[in-house]
Chain A
Amino acid sequence: MLNDITLGQYYPVKSMVHSLDPRVKIVLLILALVTVFLPENMLLYIPIAAFILLTARLSNVPFKLLLKGIKPLRFILIFTVVLNVFFLPGETVWLEWEFIRITKEAVLTAIMFGIRLVLLVMFSSLLTLTTAPVALTDGLERLLSPLAKIRFPAHEMAMMMTIALRFIPTLLEEADKIMKAQSARGADFESGNLMARAKAMVPLLVPLFVSAFRRAGDLAMAMEARCYHGGKGRTRLHVLKMKRNDYLALLFMALLLAAVIVGNRFL
């Protein structure tokens, strides 16, 4: 029943992009998002789109999967574009009827917004598709660790995220099992009005919470038994190390960003 939910949508294949340092990938994403918002001229999206296509190609992730990320956003996308077309002010009028006024500038800006949104989602999907969730939290922890100076609990946050991610499939499996067990006793999760459906969730949620608490207790005990005492002085199994490809990727991103900035000047 819950088979369709794939979480963290990580696509496990080997590729140059997959093997990049997760820290680098997070930084790349931030830079990419900035780059997406900079262009003032439509032409500048060509190199950015080319960059995405190239990265997608190098990542061995089917392009179809990358586009799938946009699907849930299609309504927001259409809504934004349509709204912009109708309500942005402009000078060159293309169509005027009653209170509707469509201008060239508005249409262009609307398209630009659309492109930005699509690129935004594609860049983010590219990160989550090519980086295992645990690597992602690890990278995040390392990037945030300087904040420990202002007492930001970077390690604890990352550990919590890792544990949460680790247990999502487990809990899904558990939920699936309990749902089946209750269905076998004639429970009906799919029909009835909102109230009836909410009530039907009780036989699922109570056992699920009970097991989640039991697991949490067990895990805490198991971690303590292995001398876990928080992040201080803890060494790592996978020491993140920047390699040639990481520097190259950063260099390419920087070049793209620079190109867009320069392009804004001259176009």
Chain B
Amino acid sequence: MQITFRQVSHTYQPGSPFQSTALSNIDFTVESGEFLALIGHTGSGKSTLAQHINGLLKPTSGQVLIDGSDIHADGYSKKTLRQKVGMVFQYAEHQLFEETVEKDIAFGPKNLGLEEAEIAVRVQEAMEKVGLEYDEFKEKSPFELSGGQMRRVAIAGVLAMRPEVLILDEPAAGLDPMSREEMLQLIKALHEKGTTIVMISHSMDDVARFATRAIVLKKGAIAMDGTPAEIFRHADELEDMGLDVPVICKLARDMQKAGLPLEDGIYEEDKLYEALLHLWKGGAADAQ
């Protein structure tokens, strides 16, 4: 499945004194199987952009195309769109409402009009994916779970619709380190099984570890678009925008400044390790 943004702009409350432009002339294409990270300062338009992908917001001008067809054209089924493109909001646990975990996860599939038996299969499957024991949790109220578990239920609710593309708005925000890591591993596993991922994140370390591509937004426009390696080569520019860079990136840069002849754009732990090892061995060879 291919997502294309063509000259998309979005203005909130046009014509009122509170008018504000959130996106201007956004152009990009996401192919099947990508893991796209959306990065940007608070208010740079990341969430607004994400909400355009599954048609929750309509562009003020421009088009959003999915497999070549305009999602706001007459006759384009919103239901199919919502099934294909799943969206997990920030603090997704705030959307839970049913009496039991099972019923809450079944909400999406039910809205799609699926058969009871199919729904049951999907709920079980989704719970497995997020690591919640079906028999243990199905009858529990979502409100008696821990924060991390609640978020898993919310994500399972989206996964039960079997989306081809999953949009996640800061899925790890506010979780303790362990739940955080589990959440990221879950997303990684989904990506490996073929789901296209679009993830909004503030953590550059997460972007460095998981993303295959990153788009940096600045004041509603695309400032950079490329692989993490390409993006993190511009570490200084990112910092000028008030964004962070991965820890390894900083370390490599500091080492460069201290005089080590490292190449530019190292942001992965093992790459830095290899480069250092190479230098050390090379250095040792010179000494002999």
The one of B56, B89, B112 in contact with A186, judged by C-beta atoms closer than 8 angstroms, is B112
Contact A187 B94 (CB under 8 A): no
In the complex, B86 has a CB within 8 A of chain A: yes
Contact A181 B112 (CB under 8 A): no
Q: How far is the CA of A202 from the CA of B99 in the complex (A)?
A: 12
Contacts of B16 in A (CB 8 A): 6
Minimum CB–CB distance from A199 to chain B (whole Å) comes to: 12
The one of B79, B97, B157 in contact with A206, judged by C-beta atoms closer than 8 angstroms, is B97
Q: How far is the CA of A203 from the CA of B82 in the complex (A)?
A: 17
* Beta-carbon nearest neighbor of B87 in chain A: A184
Contacts of A112 in B (CB 8 A): none
Contacts of B143 in A (CB 8 A): 210
Contact A207 B111 (CB under 8 A): no
Within 8 A of A (CB), among B96-143: 96-97, 107-108, 111-112, 143
Contacts of A229 in B (CB 8 A): none
Contact A181 B111 (CB under 8 A): no
Minimum CB–CB distance from A215 to chain B (whole Å) comes to: 11
Which of B12, B56, B87, B95 has the most chain A CB within a 10 Å cutoff?
A: B95
Q: Binary interface profile of A, 1-37, with partner B (CB < 8 Å = 1, else 0)?
A: 0010010000111000000000000000000000000
Interface size on A, residues (CB 8 A): 23
Given contacts A184-B86, A185-B82, contact A207 B94 (CB under 8 A): yes
Contact A3 B12 (CB under 8 A): yes
* Beta-carbon nearest neighbor of B91 in chain A: A177
In the complex, A264 has a CB within 8 A of chain B: no
Contact A185 B96 (CB under 8 A): no
In the complex, A183 has a CB within 8 A of chain B: yes
Q: How far is the CA of A13 from the CA of B79 in the complex (A)?
A: 43
Contact B108 A186 (CB under 8 A): yes
Q: Binary interface profile of B, 45-67, with partner A (CB < 8 Å = 1, else 0)?
A: 00000010010100000000000
Contact A181 B92 (CB under 8 A): yes
* Beta-carbon nearest neighbor of B14 in chain A: A3
Within 8 A of A (CB), among B209-257: none
Which of A12, A13, A174, A206 has the most chain B CB within a 10 Å cutoff?
A: A206
Contact A181 B12 (CB under 8 A): no
Given contacts A187-B107, A187-B111, A203-B107, contact A182 B95 (CB under 8 A): yes
Contacts of B158 in A (CB 8 A): 184-185
Contacts of B79 in A (CB 8 A): 186
In the complex, A197 has a CB within 8 A of chain B: no
Contact A185 B89 (CB under 8 A): no
Contact A185 B56 (CB under 8 A): no
Given contacts A203-B107, A210-B143, contact A181 B161 (CB under 8 A): no
Q: How far is the CA of A242 from the CA of B127 in the complex (A)?
A: 64
The one of A186, A202, A203, A207 in contact with B83, judged by C-beta atoms closer than 8 angstroms, is A186
Q: How far is the CA of A206 from the CA of B107 in the complex (A)?
A: 14
Within 8 A of A (CB), among B7-59: 12-13, 16-18, 51, 54, 56
Contacts A/B (CB < 8 Å), 28 sampled: A3-B12, A174-B94, A177-B89, A178-B94, A180-B51, A180-B89, A181-B89, A181-B92, A181-B94, A181-B95, A182-B95, A183-B82, A184-B82, A184-B89, A184-B158, A185-B82, A185-B108, A185-B111, A185-B157, A185-B161, A186-B108, A186-B111, A203-B95, A203-B97, A203-B107, A207-B96, A207-B97, A210-B97
> A177-B94, A183-B82, A210-B143 known; 15 other A-B pairs, CB under 8 Å?
A6-B16, A12-B17, A13-B17, A177-B89, A178-B94, A181-B95, A183-B56, A185-B108, A185-B161, A186-B108, A203-B95, A206-B97, A207-B94, A207-B95, A210-B97
User: Top 10 A-B pairs ranked by shortest CB distance?
Assistant: A186-B111, A206-B97, A185-B108, A184-B87, A181-B95, A181-B89, A180-B56, A203-B97, A186-B82, A207-B97
